[in-house]
Structure formats: C-alpha cells, structure tokens
C-alpha cells in the first residue's frame, strides 16, 4: 500500500488565505477601536471603526469561503490517454498507452497477426476508474 501525500494547494490560494486571515485580525482590531471610541463617547469614530471592522469581516469571510471552495473544486478525474493502432491489411485493432511522439497516421508497431506495419488511427483519453487527481 503506497501512502500518497495530499498535494499542496497552489501558491495563489495560500496567498489569499493569508490575506483573509490578516483581514480578520485588522477587522477585529478596528472593532476593538470602535468599542473604545464608544466608551469615550465619540460617535463618529465609533461609526467609522464599526463600518471598517464589519466590512473587513464580511470581506474576509467571503474570501476564505471562496478559497476553501476553490481548493475543493480543483479535484479532477485522472485520465488515461490511449492510442489505437490498426493494421491496414488484416484490420486488427490494438489499443496501447499513448507514447510521446504518437500522432494519427503514424506508422507504428508490426501487426501480431500478419507482420504488416500498423498505423495509428485514433488517440483519445478516458477516465481511470476510481482514481482522482488533485490539481495543485
């Protein structure tokens, strides 16, 4: 059994996560300043700090939720790229894994049945069963 480490999230998601956390800290500080201004009876400063604090918390919540959703949505099914080889003489078809340099109409391996040169007729991808890849 192989133990795969989960891939790290992309750098941009990490940067947005840090910005979101800093927004929470700054917003909390602004709300504490609003409370101090309220205790001092300065209603204008209280209003400014409450708006800044509440707006910052709302923005931080939105940003962190989007970052979390984006990290979860970066899961894609793993694909398997295959090449279909066909013998022009006996029409035998053979499917193998894609190899670098394969292209349609390329002359490839010899036919197992008649020893004629096989030609690449298709290249396509298909989803691997039960395996997922996380982009990161």
In a domain, 49, yes or no: yes
- Residues 30 and 55 occupy one common structural domain: yes
What CA–CA distance (Å, rounded) separates 120 from 122? 6
Domain count, the chain: 2
In a domain, 3, yes or no: no
- Residues 68 and 85 occupy one common structural domain: no
- Residues 62 and 94 occupy one common structural domain: no
pLDDT at 94: 93
19 burial type by CB count under 10 A (0-12 exposed, 13-18 middle, 19+ buried): middle
- Residues 42 and 22 occupy one common structural domain: yes
Give the residue from 75, 90, 115 where a domain finishes. Answer: 75
Q: What is the pTM for the complete model shown?
A: 0.45
pLDDT at 62: 87
Q: In the beta sheet, which residues pair with residue 119?
A: 86, 107
- Residues 18 and 45 occupy one common structural domain: yes
In a domain, 83, yes or no: yes
Q: In the beta sheet, which residues pair with residue 134?
A: 75
- Residues 55 and 91 occupy one common structural domain: no
- Residues 31 and 57 occupy one common structural domain: yes
Residue 95 structural domain = 77-127
From first to last of its 136 residues, the chain has per-residue pLDDT tens of 445 666 666 777 778 888 888 999 999 999 999 999 999 999 999 999 999 999 999 998 888 787 776 655 556 677 889 999 999 999 999 999 999 999 999 999 899 999 899 999 999 998 776 554 444 3
In a domain, 117, yes or no: yes
- Residues 106 and 65 occupy one common structural domain: no
In a domain, 54, yes or no: yes
- Residues 81 and 71 occupy one common structural domain: no
Determine if residue 83 is left, alpha or beta; phi over 0 gives left, psi from -120 to 50 gives alpha, anything else beta.
beta
């Amino acid at each position: 059994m192989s133990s795969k480490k989960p891939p790290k999230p992309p750098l941009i998601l990490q940067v947005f996560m840090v910005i979101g956390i800093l927004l929470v800290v700054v917003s909390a500080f602004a709300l504490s300043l609003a409370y101090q201004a309220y205790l001092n009876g300065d209603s204008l400063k209280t209003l400014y700090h409450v708006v800044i604090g509440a707006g910052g918390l709302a923005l931080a919540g939105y940003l962190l939720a989007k970052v979390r959703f984006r990290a979860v949505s970066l899961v894609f099914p793993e694909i398997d790229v295959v090449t279909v080889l066909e013998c022009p003489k006996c029409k035998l078809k053979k499917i193998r894994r894609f190899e670098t340099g394969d292209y349609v109409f390329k002359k490839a391996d010899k036919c197992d049945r008649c020893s004629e040169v096989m030609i690449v007729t298709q290249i396509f991808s298909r989803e691997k069963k039960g395996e997922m890849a996380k982009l990161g």
